[in-house]
Structure 1
Amino acid sequence: MIEYEKELNPEQYRVVTEEGGPLLVLAGAGSGKTRTLTYRVAHLLENGISPERILLATFTNKAARSMLNRVEDLVHRYTGKIMGGTFHSIAHRFLRSYAFRLGYEKSFSIVDTEDARQIIAQAMAELKIDTKLTKFPKNNIIAEMISLALNTESTLEEVIASRYPFFVHLSPEIHQIACRYEQKKRDLCVMDFDDLLINCRRLLLDHPDVLQILSDRFLHLLVDEYQDTNIIQAQIIDLLASGHRNLMVVGDDSQSIYSFRGANFENIIHFPERYPDCKIFKLETNYRSTPEILHLANLSINNNENQFPKALKAVRGKGMRPVIVSAQNVLKQADFVAQRITELS
C-alpha cells in the first residue's frame, strides 16, 4: 500500500483520499496537479475500483499515457483498462461502438485538419468560388470559422461578425460552403475532430440507453485542465456523471488560455452552480517558482473580479526580483532568453 501521507503534502492528501461525489480542485501553477491526479487514480485502484470503471480525460493523449504509466509504477498493476486520453479520443471510442445509432456506418473514417481543408476546398470549387478573384477567405480560414462556431455553440454569422468582421459581407457564401461541407462529410461517411465531440454529445442526449450503459460503466470520472474545456466537452462529462456524480475536475481559472479555440473558462467558474454539493479544494503550495515571482503573479491576478481567490505559497527560497525586459520583437526576445539560460548554466 502507498503511504499517501508521506508522499503528498496536506493539500494534495485531502484531494487524493476524498470520497466520491463532485469535487472541484483548484490547482495553482506548480502545485503538483499531475502528481495529485496520479495518486488519486492509484488510491481508487487500491480501494477496490476496477480499472475499467475509471475515465481520465486529459488535454493530450501523451499526458494520459504518462499519468497511467506513473500509476502502474505506484500500484504495480496494469492500467491499460483505464480509459484515458483526450476528449476527442474518448468520444472516438464511444462512437466506434455506437455511431450506427446516429446513422453512421461502423467503418466511418476520421479526417484530420488537412483532409478537412481539402473537403472545404472541394465544396468551394463546386460552388464556383474563386478566392483569388473575390479576396475570399481561404479554406483554412473557413475551417477555423466553422470549428469555432461549433465549439462555442455560436452561429457562423456571429463568429464572422466578432472574429472576422472584414468578411461579414461574405457571410451568405461562407454559410453555403459550411452546409456543403457538412453534406460532403455525410456522403463520404467521415467525421472531423469537431464532429467527434458533437456526435458524442448527441449520442448521449438522444439515446438514454447508451448514456445509461456508459454512465454505469465509468463510476469515477477525472478531468485534467478543466479550465480549457469547451461547452460541449463539459456537457459530455456532466452527462456521463449524471447518475453517480463521482466527478473530479482539476484546473486553474487563472490559466485559461485557449478561448481562441473555443475553450470556456466559465465551465470551471460555474462548476459550483451546476454542482451545489461539490467540495472545493485548493492546491496553493508552489514547488516551481521563487517567492518573488509568486508575489508578482499574485498581485497581477488580484484585479481579476471573476475568479476563485488563491494565494500561492513558495517552497523554494528567495531569489532574484523579476525584471521587465522590453524586446523589439519575438526573435530578440528569444535571443535574450537563450543568452540568460547560457549565463545561468
Structure 2
Amino acid sequence: MSPEKFAEGLNDAQRAAVVHGDGPLLVLAGAGSGKTRVITMRIARLLASGVPASAILAVTFTNKAAEEMLERVIALTGARAAQGLTVSTFHSFGLGFLQREARYLGFGAGFTIFDQSDAVGTIRELMRNLHVDGERRSTQDDRAGGRRLDAAAILNRISLAKNAFETPESMPDGGDLDGEAALYQAAAKVIYGKYIAALRGFHALDFDDLICEPVRLLEKFPELRDKWQRKFRYVLVDEYQDTNKAQLELLRLVVGAHKNITVVGDDDQSIYAWRGADVTNILSFEEHFPGARVVKLEQNYRSRAPVLEAANAVIGNMPNKKYKKELFTTKTGGDMLQLVTCALPEVEASFVASEADRLIKDGRSPSQIAVIYRSNKQAELIEQALRERGVAYVLIGGQTFFERKEVKDLLSYLKLAVHPLDEISLRRVINYPARGIGEQALHRLEAYAIARDVPLFHGRPPAVVARELSEKIRLKEDLWAGSASGTAAEKRWGNVESLFRSLDRYWQRAEDSAWDLEARRTPSIAEFLHRMTLRFGDEEEQKTEVVTLTTLHGAKGLEYDVVFLIGLEEGILPHKRTLDPKATDIVDFKTDESGAAVLVEDGIDEERRLFYVGVTRAKERLYLCRSRARSSRGAPAARLPSRFLADVPNHLVEIREVTEVVRQSPEQMRERTAKALAGFGGRPKF
C-alpha cells in the first residue's frame, strides 16, 4: 500500500503532520480538529513506508483510547501490517518494561503491583505505627477539628512528590500552608520514606513506580538505555498536554538521540494540574527537543461559527500565551449563544430542565444534550429538576443523588421508622454495618420506632419526619464519627441536608398535582420517595437516549448538539480555592474530579482553560447560565458573574433573565405521572 494513500482526504495542516519525516514534531490540535485521525494516519503511513511495527511506540492515557487507536490503525493497514505495534498507556508501557528488566530492580524473586487499595492500606498501617492517625484535639491551628487524617489523601500527596522526583528529604513540609492542608503535608512528609521502605520490603511497586522506576533504571544503566532507544525508532504521544514531569523524562530517555517523537496535544485544554499534569511540557517542547517542527490544527469540524468565535475570544485573553491558535470552520450559520441570568440556583435548574424538555419535545435527541458544571455537587438541583419533568439523564463521573451513600442510608432508616416491624428492612440494614451510620444508630432507631404507634408518621411532611428522625438517632454525630476527615464529614452531612431540601420542595409542589395530593395521603414515606425516582430505575440506566450531566473535566473529549454551562460565577468558575490559594487544601486530591483541590501558580489560567473546554463541547447551541445569588451559610449572598463571561463578544449573545422557577402545569404533571405509573400497574411496587 502506498504511503501517499494516507495523506488523502486531509486538510493542509493535517497532511503536514502526517507526512512529516524524521525529527521531533509538535502537533497543536485545537478542539474538534481531528487529532485522533492525524495520529493514526501518521502511524499507518510509517508502516506503509516500511517502518517495522515493532519499532513504533504509541502512548496515550487510557486503555480505551489505546484500544481505539489500535483498532483505527488496523482498519487502515490490516492486522498483519500492524502486528507487533506497541500501543499502550504510560503505565502499561512501564509495567512491560519492568517485567522485561526485572533483574535490574534488585527484588530477586520478581515483584508485585500494589493497586490503590493495597497502597492506601499500607499508608494506613504506617499511620498507626507512627501515631499520626489518632484523634487530635481541636486547636487554633487544627482546622481538621479533631478528625482522623485520610490515608488516601496522604497517598495522593506522596504520589505528587514521586512524580515530581521529590525525595522524602526534599518534599516540602507544609510550613507555607494553612490548617488542614498543612497537617496533611506534614504527615505525608513523615510517612513518605517509610512508605518507600515498606514497598521495598514487600517486593512491591505502586502505580507511580511504573513510571518512576523505568526512569531510574534507564538513567542508571546505559546498556538499558541503549537497548530501548534502539528498539523504538518512532515514538508518538497523544494528549501530551496531560503529561507530568516523570512521563516527560521517560519519553526523553526512550527517544534518545534519534529524536523521532511526535506529540499531539492542545495547551488550551490542559486542565489536570490538580492531578500532576504540567502544561510546561507542551509549551517547552521546542526546548526539550531542539529543532522541533510545530504544526497547528485549527480547522474545527465540530462547532458552528458563533461557538468558535466565543471560544477564540475567551482563550485569546490568556496572558503570556505562547502559541496562538484561531479555530475556524467552513460550517455556515449557527444560533446565538444564550446568556441566561437566573435569580437563584433553583431557578437556574428549573430553566435548564424546562429548556431541555422543550428541545426534546421539538425533536432534539436527549443524547445530544449535556449539562456541564465545575463540580459534582452542582448536579443535585439539576437532577431534581430533571426528575420532576420526567427527563431521563445519566451522570458521568459521579453518583446520582439517590445513589449517594448518606442519602440511601437515611432513606433506609426512614422506611424502617415507618414500618418498625418490617423484619426484612431491619435485617437488611443490620447486614450492612459499613453503611456509614453505624449500628448504634440503628439500635436507637429501633427503640424509638417501636415505642410509637404504627404507622409512625402518617400524613406528616416527609422533610419534617426526616429531620426529626435524624435528630433522634443522632445521625450527624454518627456521620462525623465515621468520616475520615472534617472535610469528608461536611460533604456527607451536606448530602443529607440536600435530601431534606429535596423533600421540602417536592412537598410544597404537591399542591399543583392531583398525583402528589394522593401521595400526601399515603402513609408510607418510602412510597412517597419511590414516586420521585420510579422513572429512573434499572431500565432507564440501560437507555442511551438520556441527557448527560458531567463536570467540565468529565466532558473533555465529548461533544453535544446542545450544551448548558451552569454556575458561571466568581467562586465557582473560577473556583474559590483558586482565587484564594491560602484556603486551598488537597485533602480530596485525585478523588474529586471537579478539580476543587487546585493549588498551582497558574490556577486562574487553568480555570480559563476549563471554561474553554466547556464552550468547545457545543456543536449547535450553547447556554451560558449563572445565578445572581447563591446560598452562603444559610442565607442568600449576591454572586458576581464569572470574569470569563466578559470575554465573550456581545454581538454573539442573546441575553435572557429568569426570575422564577419554571413550573409545569397540572396537566403536564398528570400526563407524565400517568405515563410513568403505567409500567407499574398504576402503583409502584416495593
CA 248–205 in structure 1, closer or farther in 2 if over 3 Å, else same = same
Q: RCO (CA 8 Å, sep 6+): is it higher in 1 or 2?
A: 1
Matches within 5 A, 1:26-45: 26-45=28-47
| Structure 1 alignment gaps of length 5 or more | none
Moved more, 252-261 or 314-323: 314-323
Q: Please, which of 146, 150, 165 is the counterpart of residue 138 of structure 1?
A: 150
RMSD, matched Cα: 2.4
**Conserved? CA contact 2:23–2:258, under 8 Å:** yes
Deviates further, 238-247 or 105-114? 105-114
Are the structure 2 counterparts of residues 49 and 336 from structure 1 closer, same or farther at C-alpha, using a change threshold of 3 Å? Answer: farther
Which digits, 9 at most, give the CA deviation of each residue in 1:263-288, with x for residues without a partner? Answer: 00000101111223111101111001
Q: 2:191 aligns with which of 177, 181, 193?
A: 177
1:21/1:245 contact within 8 Å kept: yes
Whole-Å separation in 2 of the counterparts to 1:163 and 1:251: 33
| Residue 80 of structure 1, CA deviation | 4.2
Cα distance between partner residues in 2 of 1:160 and 1:141 = 14
Q: CA deviation at 1:175?
A: 2.2
SS in 2 for 1:324: strand
Secondary structure of 1:130's partner? Answer: coil
Residues 106-145 of structure 1 correspond to what in structure 2 (within 5 A)?
107-133=110-136, 134-145=146-157
Matched, 1:94 2:97: yes
Q: What is the match of residue 292 of structure 1?
A: 306
Task: State the 1:88 CA deviation.
Answer: 0.8
Map 1:1-345; keep pairs closer than 5 Å. 1=1, 3-78=5-80, 79-105=82-108, 107-133=110-136, 134-154=146-166, 157-158=171-172, 160=174, 166-169=180-183, 171-304=185-318, 305-325=320-340, 328=345, 332=349, 335=353, 339=357, 342=360, 343=362, 344-345=364-365
CA distance in 2, matches of 1:137, 1:341: 47
More displaced stretch, 254-263 vs 1-10: 1-10
C-alpha distance 48-170 of structure 1, shift in aligned 2 (>3 A): closer
Alpha-carbon separation, structure 1, partners of 2:304 and 2:34: 15
In 1, distance between residues paired with 2:109 and 2:14?
43
Segment drifting more, 107-116 vs 169-178? 169-178
CA distance in 2, matches of 1:28, 1:311: 8
Mark the CA change 1:163 to 1:14 in structure 2 (over 3 Å): closer, same or farther: farther
Contact 1:145 1:160 in 2 (8 A): no
Deviation of 1:59 (Å): 1.4
Task: Give the secondary structure class of the aligned counterpart of 1:308.
Answer: coil
**Higher normalized helix content (fraction of residues):** 1
Describe the SS at the equivalent of 2:28: strand
Partners of 1:243 and 1:340 lie apart in 2 by 60
Cα distance in 2, alignment partners of residues 160 and 215 from structure 1: 39
Q: Distance in 2 between matches of 1:251 and 1:163?
A: 33
In the alignment, residue 137 of structure 1 is paired with which amino acid? Answer: L
Cα distance, 1:252 vs structure 2: 0.5
Where has structure 1 moved over 6 Å in runs of 4 or more?
none
State the alpha-carbon separation in 1 of the partners of residues 70 and 314 from structure 2: 35
Deviations 1:180-213 (A, max 9, x none): 2111111111111111111010011001110100
Distance in 2 (CA, whole Å) between partners of 1:138 and 1:42 is 47
| Pair member with larger Rg | 2
CA shift in 2, pair 1:138/1:340, >3 Å:
farther
Shift of 1:169: 4.9
Taking the aligned partners of 2:263 and 2:197, their CA distance within structure 1 comes to 36
Cα shift at 1:132:
3.4
In 2, Cα distance between equivalents of 1:195 and 1:337? 48
Q: Larger deviation: 155-164 or 34-43? A: 155-164
Which residue does the alignment assign to 2:593?
none
Aligned mates of 1:242, 1:110 — CA distance in 2: 28
Identical columns (%): 37
Residues 58 and 125 of structure 1: CA distance in aligned 2, closer, same or farther (over 3 Å)? same
Residue segments in structure 2 that go unaligned for 5+ positions in a row: 137-145, 366-686
| Deviation of the 1:168 alpha carbon | 2.1
Bigger CA drift: 32-41 or 232-241? 232-241
Q: Is 93-102 or 24-33 further displaced after alignment?
A: 93-102
Check conservation: 1:256, 1:265, Cα contact below 8 A.
Answer: yes
Query: How many residues align structurally?
Result: 344
CA deviations over 1:51-74 (Å, ceiling 9, x no partner): 110000101121111111111111
Whether the 8 Å contact between 2:18 and 2:41 is mirrored in structure 1 is: yes
